[in-house]
Amino acid sequence: MISVPLLRPNGQEPPPPQVITVVIMGDSILKLDGKTALVFGVASEESIAYAICKSLSSAGCNLVLGFQPRFRSRIQQLLPTLPKNTQIHPIDVNMPDSISDFYKSWQAESPDQKANIVIHAIGFAPREAFDRNLLFVDSDPIDTALRISAHSLQSILRSGLPHLAPASSTITLTYAASTRHVPSYGLMSIAKAALEAWVREIAARLGPDGHRVNAISAGPIKTLAASGIPGFEGILDHVERNSPLRRNIDQMDVAGAATWLASPLSSGVTAQVIHVDGGYSSTMVPEDVNR
C-alpha cells in the first residue's frame, strides 16, 4: 500500500489530512486458482492454445484439452510439459457426435466438474479455399471451413452449456481479415467474419446468465495453421515494418490477453473483438508507402 499526501491549494485553509490510497495487488488478483479451463486447439508447441495453456496453468487453472485425433502423438509428447492433472480427450468438430463424446469422456473422468473458461482456438479451411478465386470455390469446402472454423464455437458451447460454471468466460481466436481484405486469406476471412458474429450473438444470449464470450484478433504468428496461408512470410514482414510497435506479436502476447479475458479483471467485457496485433489494425496507410 502506498500513501500519497494530497497537495494543498495556495492561500486556503489546510484541508483535513487526506490520502490517495493505491493498493498494489499481486498475481492473486487474477483469481484463477483451482478454475477449470477447457482448451480446444493445441496441436504443437507453436499453437497459440499451447501458450494459453501455459499462461492459464501458471495462474492456477486446471486444464482439460480437446485435441484433434490426428495430433494424438504430438499431444502426448507435450503432456509432460503441462501440469500433472491435465486431462486430454479427443474431439473432431467436423464429425457428428464427436463434440458430445468429448463432454462424455471428460465427465466420465471428472464427474460434475464445471468449466470456468473455454478456449476455442480451432481453425481449418481446405487447401483450395486458399488457392482458388473465391468466386469459384465449391460449396463443400465452404461448408467445411465454416463448420470447423466458425460454427464449432456454437456447437461446443451448445453441448457445453450444462457444464459451464457460473460467470464463465469463453475466448475464441480471430483475424483482422474478418473485416478487411487480406490477399490469400481467402475463405478464412468469411469464416472469421461468421465467427465474430457468433461471438456477438452467443454473448447476447449467455450474458443475462452472467457468462462472457469474447474474441482475440491476433496478428500473424508462425504456427501450423498459418503455414497453409500463401505469402505468410510477406505478411509478417509487412506487419513488422508498419505496426505501431514495429514488431510481430507472439503466442505469449495472445496468452496474456486471453488470461486477462479469462479472469475477473475483465468482468465487464463481453461480445468484444480485442486486437492483439501490435496496433496494426489501427493503421491505414503503411509507414513504408513512400520508401
The residues of the shown chain that bind ligand NAD, judged by CB under 6 A, are 41-44, 47-49, 68, 71, 91-94, 121-124, 148, 173-175, 218, 220-221, 223-226
**Least CB distance to ligand NAD at residue 178 (A):** 10
Name which of 47 and 57 has its Cβ closer to ligand NAD. 47
Given the complex with ligand NAD, which of 19 and 224 has the nearer CB atom?
A: 224
> For residues 32 and 48, which CB has a smaller minimum distance to ligand NAD in the complex?
48
Widest CA span in the chain: 79
Q: Which is nearer to ligand NAD, 71 or 283 (CB)?
A: 71
Residue 78 CB partners (closer than 8 Å, separation 6+): 42, 44, 45, 50
CB of 92 to ligand NAD, least distance (A): 4
Please, what is the minimum distance in Å from the beta carbon of residue 218 to ligand NAD?
4
Nearest residue relative to ligand NAD (C-beta): 123
Residues in contact with 5: Cβ distance below 8 Å, sequence separation at least 6, in sequence order: 17, 18, 19
Indicate if 175 belongs to the active site.
yes
Active-site residue, selected from the candidate residues 50, 103, 185, 280: 185
Question: Of 60 and 142, which has the nearer Cβ to ligand NAD?
Answer: 142
Catalytic site includes residue 185:
yes
Bridge partners of 174, per DSSP, are: 217
Minimum CB separation of residue 55 from ligand NAD in Å reads: 14
Q: What angle do CA 213, 149, 178 make, to 5 degrees?
A: 75
Nearer to ligand NAD, 27 or 233 (CB): 233
* Closest separation in Å from C-beta 49 to ligand NAD: 6
What cell was used for 91?
Answer: 474431439
DSSP string for residues in the chain: -EEEEPPPPTTSPPPPP-EEEE----GGGG--TT-EEEEE---STT-HHHHHHHHHHHTT-EEEEEE-GGGHHHHHHHGGGS-TT-EEEE--TTSTTHHHHHHHHHHHHSTT--EEEEEE------THHHHS-GGG--HHHHHHHHIIIIIHHHHHHHHHGGGEEEEEEEEEEE-GGGTS--TT-THHHHHHHHHHHHHHHHHHHHGGGT-EEEEEEEPP--STTGGGSTTHHHHHHHHHHHSTTSS---HHHHHHHHHHHHSGGGTT--S-EEEESTTGGG-SS-TTTT-
Out of 50, 103, 175, 280, pick the active-site residue: 175
CB of 111 to ligand NAD, least distance (A): 24
Residues labelled catalytic: 175, 185
